[in-house]
Structure 1
Amino acid sequence: MYDAGEPGRHPRPQAREALRRALVLSSVAARAGLEARADAGEARDMHPRILDWLRATGLDQALEPAEAALVATPLGELDANAALDAGWRAEGAYVLAWALGRHAPLPHDRLVDPDDIAWPLGFLDADALDREGEAELRGEREIDTFLARQLAVHWRLREYALRPGQMNFAAVVANGGWARLDIDQGALVDDDLAIDGSRIDRADAARIVRCISIASERHRAASWLAGADPVYSNVENIT
């Protein structure tokens, strides 16, 4: 038996579903990015282009209601917090692009460049979905290991936020117990999580906060790939 929102509760999405979701997430992130330059001519041209492309490809049907409302919001009218939150969807798009073999793995403390995800996926291409039947996902074991690493990193960051200080994080991962955990040895310093090459308790506080947001988005996307819930926004990335 699985608890609600737990990976494995539902059938895993197929490759074509992952491709569509990655393109949707890239579109949401792109719309969010336009808000900071809403008065620029480039942004005014790009917004209708995104909307027209979503309709022409049928990807508008893959948008969740909240995503559709956000993408359609006129430039200059998007709430600042909503724009900031939506911008993080690029991290979820990265996970799906990685799973589709279209992006190399990134360190847990490095932001993805949204352009490095969107354009290779076919963002704004009229034929972006013409060959979606040829899309392939990495194997389940590889995806599950990726999820185990996202969970471990997310847990450590949350734990540090509650109880700052050094711990033997490597031992926690090795012992597991409450969940399957995994970690890349390159992500550790002195057996604890590293941020920008320093042990977490020596890292800049603002960078730790940023890494929590990165981890949260990547954890959600990896859980979705593992069958946590067919509705992306319903996935609970609890640590």
Structure 2
Amino acid sequence: MVTNAAVYARFGWRLEAPHWQALVPPGVECAVDLAEDGSSVTFASPEGTITFNRLADDKVGPHLLGLERYLRGVGASDGLLVRALSTSAVYGSVADRDLGKGLPGQLMLDLTDRTGGFCFLDGRLFIDCDGRDLVADPLRPDRDRVVRRALVLLATMYRSAIEAGIEEHPDLMKDEEGRYRAWLDGVDLGAEPEPDERDLLDQPAGAVGEDVAAEHAFDAEAALTLLWALGVADTLPALDPARQPLDTLIEYQVPGPGPFDGRRPDPSLRPDDVIDCEWRRQQAIHWRLADLQLARRHVDFAAWAQDTWFGAVDLDGITLIDGDLAVAGTPVSALDDRASWWLWRQVAERNRALNWLIGANPIYGAVGTPT
């Protein structure tokens, strides 16, 4: 009988009483007792009792390092490792009956769902909110999903660009919005857009706001990554602080024929090992640029890359100067703040796309980018 579990929450904001109460299905008899400091909550119903205890925030990091070692020991995929290391909060749970049935188990799965997380059951099984075994069944997307996701990211970036320019160039952007709507009507996004993405795509120009638009300004980098994974692009372009997100729309004729117009190779996912190798490269570059945001210093990147938490990195195609990462002929430690930030944002979205490709989370918006 499984009575112990842990929920690893991707979204870690502290839940208040209304959030916990919302887990109880309508009409179900269940008392919800939340501790005054919010550190634990107990659900008691005729179907059983379950208590969730939130791990102290300062203990989450060390706990995740232990979880990483455990996952490697059981042969978990890199995607699941990324998902685990993207955890923001941990809830240990104890029930008075088997979590495989009844309200206590359902509450556990609902908490998992609403926090974008996964469960660790009885010290042996990792599952998602649908009960899928995440070790045995890595969640890598298929070709058709990758095609639709690339189109969604091109669409959100395009919509972002319109919003960013509407205040300064209202007439021009209104005309551009018409072209955008015509293009969007001609592409098949299926059910791929997530609710916040659909809201962005459907809102008229000027209704979204620059802050929301800015969140999607670098979606072009993720789209480029997926187009590379589909074989539409031969290589990923080198990081370049001079390259603008709009350059991708121009290169792939959006609005217009787009990347899947028949004049390019038919999309076909590259082999897993090729994608995994590129994931390690971009993960390493992301780490270096994230570290640069914290401290401007020289790093022996070549030496560091041979022993990382995600394995040794093939540095083929990566420019080094005196052993450190370099971009456009300049060591990253010598870049000014704006250029280093710009590159960091570029690679963060490439890394997000690759994390999704290796199965970190089937929901794109829930994919983390831990370094």
TM interval, shorter chain, is 0.7 to 0.9
d(CA) in 2 for partners of 1:6 and 1:92? Answer: 21
State whether residues 54 and 60 of structure 1, in contact with CA within 8 Å, keep that contact through their aligned partners in structure 2: no
CA contact (8 A) 2:292 2:340 kept: no
2:299–2:324 CA contact under 8 A, matched in 1: yes
Asked whether the 8 Å contact 2:232–2:267 carries over to 1, the reply is no
Whole-Å separation in 1 of the counterparts to 2:257 and 2:268: 19
Q: Distance in 2 between matches of 1:210 and 1:171?
A: 25
Within the candidate set 151, 156, 160, 1:23 is matched to 151
CA distance in 2 between counterparts of 1:114 and 1:208 reads 20
1:208 is aligned to 2:340: yes
Please tell me whether the aligned partners of residues 23 and 93 of structure 1 are also in contact (alpha carbons under 8 angstroms): yes
In 2, are the aligned partners of 1:196 and 1:203 still within 8 Å (CA)?
no
The number of residue pairs the alignment matches comes to 234
Map 1:44-55 onto structure 2 (within 5 A). 44-51=174-181, 53-54=183-184
**Cα separation, 1, equivalents of 2:268 and 2:370:** 28
Contact 1:29 1:86 in 2 (8 A): yes
Structure 2 SS opposite 1:90: helix
Secondary structure, in 3 states, of the residue corresponding to 1:167? coil
Q: What's the TM-score, normalizing by structure 1?
A: 0.85
Please show how residues 86-105 of structure 1 align to structure 2 within 5 Å: 86-103=216-233, 104-105=235-236
Residue 224 (structure 1) aligns with: 356
Residues 115 and 52 (structure 1), Cα distance of their counterparts in 2 relative to 1, 3 Å cut: closer
Q: In structure 2, what is the Cα distance between the partners aligned to 1:98 and 1:107?
A: 13
Match of 2:95 in 1: none
Higher strand share: 2
The amino acid of 2:148's aligned partner reads: R
Shift of 1:200: 1.7
**What TM-score comes out, normalization by structure 2 length?**
0.57
- RMSD of equivalent CA atoms: 2.8
1:97/1:117 contact within 8 Å kept: no
C-alpha contact (below 8 Å) 1:92/1:218 kept by paired residues? yes
Question: What is the deviation of 1:203?
Answer: 1.5
**Is the Cα–Cα contact under 8 Å of residues 218 and 346 in structure 2 kept in the other structure?**
yes
d(CA) in 2 for partners of 1:218, 1:188: 20
Aligned to 2:103: none
* Residue 108 (str. 1) matches residue 239 (str. 2): yes
Q: Which residue of 1 aligns with 2:173?
A: 43
Q: Structure 1's 60 and 15: CA in aligned 2 closer, same or farther, altered over 3 A?
A: closer
- Using a 3 Å threshold, how does the CA distance of structure 1 residues 48 and 60 change in structure 2: closer, same or farther? farther
| Superposition map of 1:1-239 within 5 A | 1=76, 2-3=80-81, 5=83, 10-38=138-166, 39-51=169-181, 53-54=183-184, 57-59=187-189, 61-103=191-233, 104-109=235-240, 111=243, 113-116=247-250, 118-119=252-253, 125=257, 135-176=267-308, 178-180=309-311, 181-184=313-316, 186-239=318-371
Q: Name the structure, 1 or 2, with higher relative contact order (CA <8 Å, separation 6+).
A: 1
Structure 1 pair 79/171, CA: closer, same or farther in 2 (3 Å)? same
Distance 1:167 1:221 in 2: 26
